[in-house]
Amino acid sequence: MKKVSLLIALLICYTASAQFDNSFGIKVGTNYSQFRPDLEFYGQKALDFKGKIGYYIGGFFDIGISDKSSVRPELLFANQGTKTSSEFYVEYVDQFKDPMVGEVVTKVNELIILLPVNFRIELVERFYLELGLQPGYALKRTEVVKKLPFDPSLEGEKETYSDFDEFDFGLNGGLGFDLTDRIELNLRYNYGLIERDNTIKTSVISLGLGFKI
């Protein structure tokens, strides 16, 4: 009897889900990311975080729960991170040289796997709002020296981090528009909730296209 009841329940669930559109596909796009907040030392700004351009690619599965709403889990591989800027003061021992003040700029690249799950609701025809959660796991973090006025020969040098907080978690909010029945445009913002490395949180704006298969 229990097996029959379970079979009937599964059949009802399948029949109900079949009434709405389920789809899967791939998506690609670009992002603009940075860490926050800027770091201060004794009330003075020591490190300024600025945005950098990256990319993402992955897939999605759209699960219809009504004719105007759905839940969408995604699996994305992304390059994001931040640029850093800091002012350095170098005082020379040589009395004939003036002290030097310069800006040091680096770029932090983070390769990360993202698993966003968003609730989507159609506001008007083809135009939808999405809200959700996004865990992530960073596979690699590197920092490249972009500007070093005191020693330009070191510009381009790369350092790979061996010890950093890989796990990230944040809130998603976004808007989208179905350009055709198979192609969609999506704009999304992710607000990081977890303080990583005891100092930083993420902030990412992404724009991309989805292709339903």
Q: What is the pLDDT of residue 19?
A: 53
18 in helix, strand or coil? helix
Among 30-34, 42-46, 134-138, 196-200, name the one with the lowest average pLDDT.
42-46
Q: In this predicted model, what pLDDT tens digit does every residue of 164-203 receive, in sequence order?
A: 999 999 999 999 999 999 999 999 999 999 999 989 999 9
Region 140-164: mean pLDDT is 89
Task: Dump pLDDT digits (tens) for 82-116.
Answer: 999 988 766 665 655 666 678 889 999 999 999 99
Any idea what DSSP says for residue 152?
Answer: G
Alpha-carbon distance of 135 to 167, in angstroms, equals 8
Residue 178 to residue 183: CA distance in whole angstroms: 6
CATH architecture of 22-212: Beta Barrel (2.40)
Q: How many CA atoms lie within 13 A of 30 on its CB side?
A: 4
Please state the pTM of the whole predicted model.
0.82
How much is the pLDDT for 159? Answer: 93
Looking at residue 17, what is its pLDDT? 47
Question: What does the domain layout of the chain look like in residue ranges?
Answer: 22-212
Stronger pLDDT, 206 or 87, i.e. the higher one: 206
* Amino acid at the residue 2: K
Residue 143, helix vs strand vs coil = strand
| Rounded Cα distance, 80 and 85, in Å | 17
What is the residue-averaged pLDDT of the chain?
87
Closest CA to 201 of 211, 191, 210: 191
- In this prediction, residue 57 has a pLDDT band, given cuts at 50, 70 and 90, of very high
Mean pLDDT of 33-37: 95
Residue 38: pLDDT band with limits 50, 70, 90: confident
